[in-house]
Amino acid sequence: NIDFIFSAPGKAILHGEHAVVHGKVALAVSLNLRTYLRLKSNSTGKVSLCLPNIHTFMSWDVSSLLPLRPSTLDAVLVQRLHHFTGFPSEMPDTCAMAVLAFLYIYISVFAESRWSKEELELINSWAFQGERVIHGTPSGVDNAVGTWGGILRYHAGTITPLSRVPVLRILLTNTKVPRSTKSLVAGVRDKIKKFPSVMHPVLESISAVSVTCELTLEEIASDPMPEHYAVLEELIDINQHHLQVLGVGHASLDTLCRTTLAHGLHSKLTGAGGGGCGITLLRPEPPSAELKDCGYDCWETSIGVPGVCLHSAS
Ligand code: PMV
């Protein structure tokens, strides 16, 4: 019998969403809002899967899952993700779902408690398959953060973890305005096609924001100064404006930016935009109470936490 508990971190994109789909630089961070999964088998040949964060429980006959061969894997993934995408998620902007959806398959093949780099790459690639089912043409950044954790620089399919991760707190706010990543990505693509000479410089500038932010984060990690926060805040404002130019802003996100700015804090959308989630760089007194009055859910969280991991079940 098997009994395992897994967890994977949440994810936020600091800078570079949408631009990353067009080959530009993005910076993505893990969040210490983790999704947990418990996988158990019993003597009757059933495997049960429990995702307590989203009150989800499922069970299957082991014989319906095995043997797993590459040729059958895609069909299994699509079938399982069809179930997963139907569940309400209380974890906004996280790839944890996709990562965890595949771990039960993984563990049934390799029952090891420590994963090698190669095995993590395999988990990452399965999670990417999940992203493809959900989003269509994902950049791969979501599954990478869920797998590796930390702060990742993502550029043209190459992932580089920042060697030093500064202590930074952010406020993650879910506007609860539903959006489709797939159609927002398609909308940006249309805009680029319509106004290439206008939009390419915007994408280039977003990329430069990511690179400047990365350098600033490295400076903060070695010698934090108040000026560094001012730079990060300005970059947030610049990028939020760029994202509006790309057409992925939303009134709910404007409210977030306005409300936090009244407290001297700077916010931007994170992920696809058009509603969804926003991030606010935190100074000591976050404005969560006022945002909650707007009907939003807020989580104060820190970034750069470990990636997917296996915990021992009691
Ligand atoms: O909203 P999310 O968490 O699915 O993030 C989407 C990020 C995009 O850059 C818009 C798309 C992608 O695949 O990178």
Ligand 1 centroid to 222 CA: how many Å?
30
Tell whether the model's pLDDT for residue 183 goes beyond 80.
Answer: yes
Q: What is the CATH number of domain 3-163+305-312?
A: 3.30.230.10
Ligand 1 centroid to 164 CA: how many Å?
24
Tell whether the model's pLDDT for residue 263 goes beyond 90.
Answer: no
Tell whether the model's pLDDT for residue 134 goes beyond 90.
Answer: no
Sequence ranges of the chain with CATH classification 3.30.230.10: 3-163+305-312
Q: Give nearest CA residue, ligand 1 atom 14.
A: 139
- Across residues 91-119, what is the average pLDDT? 53
The pLDDT tens digits of the residues spanning 39-60 come to 777 777 777 777 777 677 777 6
Sheet (strand 297-302) strand order = 267-270, 277-281, 169-174, 297-302
Tell whether the model's pLDDT for residue 184 goes beyond 70.
Answer: yes
Burial class (CB in 10 A: 0-12, 13-18, 19+), 228: middle
Candidates 11, 14, 15, 17: which one to mutate for ligand 1, based on the most atoms within 8 Å of Cβ?
17
Superfamily, domain 169-302: GHMP kinase, C-terminal domain (3.30.70.890)
For ligand 1, say whether the CB of 139 is within 6 Å of any of its atoms: yes
Nearest in space to 217 (alpha carbons), one of 21, 18, 28: 28
Tell whether the model's pLDDT for residue 96 goes beyond 70.
Answer: no
Report how far residue 290's alpha carbon sits from residue 46's, in angstroms, rounded to the nearest whole number. Answer: 47
For ligand 1, say whether the CB of 271 is within 6 Å of any of its atoms: yes
Tell whether the model's pLDDT for residue 290 goes beyond 90.
Answer: no
pLDDT bucket at 93, cuts 50 / 70 / 90? very low
Candidates 11, 13, 91, 159: which one to mutate for ligand 1, based on the most atoms within 8 Å of Cβ?
13
Using the atom order of ligand 1, give the atom closest to the CA of residue 19.
Answer: 9
Residue that wins the pLDDT comparison between 259 and 166? 259
∠ Cα 170 181 152 (to 5°): 45
Phi/psi of residue 89, each to 5°?
-110, 130
Ligand 1 centroid to 43 CA: how many Å?
41
Q: What is the pLDDT of residue 115?
A: 72
Sequence ranges of the chain with CATH classification 3.30.70.890: 169-302
For ligand 1, say whether the CB of 131 is within 6 Å of any of its atoms: no
**Concatenated DSSP letters of 13-76:** EEE-TTGGGGT--EEEEEEEEEEEEEEEE-TTSEEEEEEGGGTEEEEEEHHHH-S--HHHHHHH
ipTM of this complex prediction, to 2 decimal places: 0.97
Q: What is the pLDDT of residue 137?
A: 75
Ligand 1 centroid to 246 CA: how many Å?
14
- Across residues 8-35, what is the average pLDDT? 92
Using the atom order of ligand 1, give the atom closest to the CA of residue 188.
Answer: 10
For ligand 1, say whether the CB of 138 is within 6 Å of any of its atoms: yes
Tell whether the model's pLDDT for residue 69 goes beyond 60.
Answer: no
Q: Give nearest CA residue, ligand 1 atom 7.
A: 271
Q: What is the pLDDT of residue 227?
A: 87
